[in-house]
């Protein structure tokens, strides 16, 4: 079952009761925020699972001649290797919507417009 982004709002948060029992949760903010699919997030309960499944230790990506401690290279711990800038873009989108205020307004609009169109088509048709 898919939920819209607004289930994270205080009004609809009850729909997430029991979510702590899940082994993983995928969050797709494109449903309401208009973000690209690349902005999806996956939360996994088991510590180290992404590292175990994605570890390639690719020498061409993670060179050892860095001017910093190479243990900070987190590419092997993520599904998209070094594309951590995507979460920053999602955060910027969140901030541009002024967090929940913008989300709630957008959520209300996304329900009102289809209903308005339906009523208009029914009365004019």
Per-residue model confidence as pLDDT tens digits over 66-83: 787 877 776 666 666 666
Number of H helices, E strands in the chain: 4, 2
pLDDT at 9 over 80: no
The b/e string for 74-106 (b: 16+ C-beta within 10 A; e otherwise) is ebbebeebeeeebeeebeebbeebeeeeebbee
Structural element, H or E, at residue 119: helix 100-124
pLDDT at 23 over 80: yes
Higher per-residue confidence, 21 vs 43:
21
CA–CA separation, 21 and 45 (whole Å): 9
pTM: 0.53
Residue with tokens 């594309």: 83
Please provide the average confidence, as pLDDT, over all residues in the chain: 71
Environment class of 6 (CB within 10 Å of its CB; exposed 0-12, middle 13-18, buried 19+) = buried
Fill in the DSSP letter of residue 45. S
Q: What is the pLDDT of residue 2?
A: 47
Higher per-residue confidence, 55 vs 111:
55
Higher per-residue confidence, 108 vs 52:
52
């Amino acid at each position: 079952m898919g939920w819209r982004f607004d289930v994270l709002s205080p009004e609809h948060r009850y729909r997430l009761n029991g979510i702590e029992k899940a082994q993983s949760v995928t969050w797709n903010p494109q449903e309401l925020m208009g973000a690209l699919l690349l902005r999806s997030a996956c939360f996994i309960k088991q510590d180290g699972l992404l590292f175990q499944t994605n570890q390639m230790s690719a020498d061409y990506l993670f060179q050892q001649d860095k001017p910093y401690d190479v243990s900070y290279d987190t590419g092997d711990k993520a599904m998209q290797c070094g594309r951590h800038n995507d979460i920053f873009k999602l955060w910027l989108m969140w901030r541009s919507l002024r967090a929940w205020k913008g989300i709630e307004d957008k959520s209300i609009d996304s329900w009102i417009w289809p209903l308005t169109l339906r009523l208009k088509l029914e009365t004019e048709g």
